[in-house]
Structure formats: structure tokens, C-alpha cells
């Protein structure tokens, strides 16, 4: 009798329509979120600059005086800015596995300088393109291809940087390379490094 009563109460608790709904995963699967190409008033995107990697905040500047918008680039949530000005962040769909990314080739801007760099210790590349009205630049993380910096002169239209760089080497995905490695990952990397040192020391050639 006691067990039956407990089972009945448990069933009612599960079926209780007043209970808070369980969180559901979004049907959209995004690697990360990027700056919208225009804000709600229609001003062109003119600059991109990551604010921090932890928490993951990306700043988006527009060719107007509305103060720009900042988003959490992992969730798409608006962090700073007006909901009447800031467009929803752009979902960048999950990409096929890629070992390394580099500067995109833009047919409209054939002149390209590539400069290896890092952004807060995250490996990256700065891509500088020439235009008739002056250069613009795009900066990407080489681990996951994410656009993290970019700028174009005001009045020159929307910033043409693709939201993700070009995959130059296929292989195991490194899309989360900018995240802090956990202890297991660090242990595995140390083992791999020792194995490489041993192999180099005892190669017969």
C-alpha cells in the first residue's frame, strides 16, 4: 500500500503541468555566432572585435552612432546594446572536420597579405585586402576559422570579411581549439610530445 502510494505521487509529479519545462536543445546547430551584416536601422557592419574569449564576447560596430552591439558568440545572446538597434546574431553552422584554417580568397579583392598572429595567445592570421578606396582587414583563429577582428573605412560599404576562414588542411576537427584544454587533453598532449621526441631520437635516417 505504501509503495503504491509513493508510485502514484511520483507519477503525478512527472505529469504536473505546473512544473517548470525542461530545457531543450536548439534545433539549429551552430559552431559559433557572428556579427550580423547590418543592424536593425540598416547600417552596415564596419568592424568586428572580440572583447574576451572567457566569457566569449564579440563586439560589432556599425556605420551609425548607435553604439554597436556585443554578443556572446557561443550562444548568440545579446550582451550589450539596444534590442531596438541590434539584429539577432548570425548562426555559423557546424563545419566539416578541419585541421587548420587560413585567409579566405575573395575574387573581388585579389591582393592579399597574410600575417600570422595571435589573439590573447590564440593562434590566428590577419588577412589584409586592398581595394580602390583603401585596405580592409580580417582576423581569424586558425584553430576553428572564427572571424574575431575586422575593419573597413566608414562609407566603404559592409565589411566583406567572411564569417569563417577557408579550411586549408582537412583532418580531425580543431573547432574548439580556443577553449582551455582539460587535464585529460593536456596529459594526452604531453604523451604525444614524448612519443615524438623518442621517435626523432631513434630514427634510422
pLDDT confidence of residue 75: 95
Residue 90: pLDDT band with limits 50, 70, 90 = very high
Above 50 in pLDDT, residue 34?
yes
Cα-Cα-Cα-Cα dihedral sign, residues 184, 99, 89, 51:
positive
Global pTM? 0.67
Residue 199, SS3 per DSSP: helix
pLDDT confidence of residue 87: 96
CA-to-CA distance for 136 and 152, rounded, in angstroms?
5
* Cβ proximity of 126 and 114 under 8 Å: yes
pLDDT confidence of residue 172: 53
pLDDT confidence of residue 133: 79
pLDDT confidence of residue 171: 58
**% of the chain exceeding 70 in pLDDT:** 68
Domain ranges of the chain: 30-179
pLDDT, greater one: 27 or 75: 75
Above 70 in pLDDT, residue 42?
yes
Average pLDDT rounded to a whole number, residues 141-151: 94
Amino acid at each position: 500500500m505504501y509503495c503504491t502510494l509513493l508510485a502514484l505521487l511520483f507519477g503525478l509529479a512527472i505529469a504536473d503541468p505546473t512544473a517548470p519545462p525542461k530545457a531543450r536543445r536548439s534545433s539549429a546547430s551552430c559552431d559559433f555566432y557572428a556579427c550580423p551584416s547590418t543592424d536593425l536601422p540598416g547600417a552596415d557592419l564596419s568592424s568586428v572585435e572580440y572583447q574576451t574569449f572567457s566569457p566569449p564576447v564579440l563586439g560589432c560596430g556599425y556605420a551609425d552612432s548607435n553604439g554597436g552591439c556585443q554578443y556572446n558568440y557561443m550562444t548568440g545572446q545579446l550582451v550589450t546594446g539596444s534590442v531596438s538597434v541590434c539584429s539577432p546574431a548570425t548562426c555559423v553552422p557546424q563545419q566539416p572536420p578541419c585541421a587548420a584554417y587560413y585567409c579566405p580568397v575573395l575574387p573581388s579583392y585579389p591582393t592579399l597579405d597574410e600575417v600570422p598572429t595571435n589573439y590573447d595567445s590564440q593562434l590566428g592570421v590577419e588577412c589584409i585586402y586592398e581595394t580602390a578606396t583603401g585596405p580592409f582587414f580580417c582576423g581569424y583563429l586558425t584553430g576553428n576559422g572564427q572571424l574575431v577582428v575586422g575593419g573597413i573605412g566608414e562609407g566603404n560599404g559592409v565589411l566583406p570579411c567572411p564569417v569563417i576562414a577557408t579550411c586549408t588542411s582537412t583532418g580531425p576537427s580543431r573547432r574548439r581549439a580556443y577553449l582551455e584544454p582539460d587535464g585529460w587533453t593536456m596529459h594526452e598532449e604531453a604523451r604525444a610530445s614524448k612519443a615524438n621526441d623518442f621517435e626523432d631520437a631513434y630514427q634510422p635516417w
